[in-house]
Amino acid sequence: MTKRVLDEKTMRTLEARIPKLASGAFAQAYANALTVSGKVLVARKGQLVETHADGSERVIRQLAAPTQVTVGTRRVRKVKA
C-alpha cells in the first residue's frame, strides 16, 4: 500500500469539511437514539433535559457550572481512598 502525501491546500480543504461532517453525524445519532429508545438526554442552558420522540421534554436536573481551566493546565481527579 502506497502512502499518499497531501499538500497544504488539499489538507485545508479536507479539514474545512470536518465541522459539517460532525454536525451531520451528531444529527443522525440524535435521530437514531430517539428512534431506538424513544428519548435522548441533552445538556441545554445549564440543565439536563430528557427529550422524548413525541417532542415532550422533562428537566432532569440543574448542571454544575463549567470549570474554568487555563490553557496548558493539568487537572488531576482526587481519588477517595
Whole-number pLDDT of residue 1: 65
pLDDT for residue 31 is more than 90: yes
Q: For the chain, count helices (H), then strands (E).
A: 2, 3
Residue 52 has pLDDT above 80, yes or no: yes
The residues, ordered by sequence, that sit 6+ positions from 33 with a Cβ below 8 Å of its Cβ are: 39, 40
Q: The pTM is what?
A: 0.63
- Residue 1: all three cell numbers together: 500500500
Helix 18-37 with 8-16: angle, nearest 10 deg: 30
- Grid cell listed for 43: 445538556
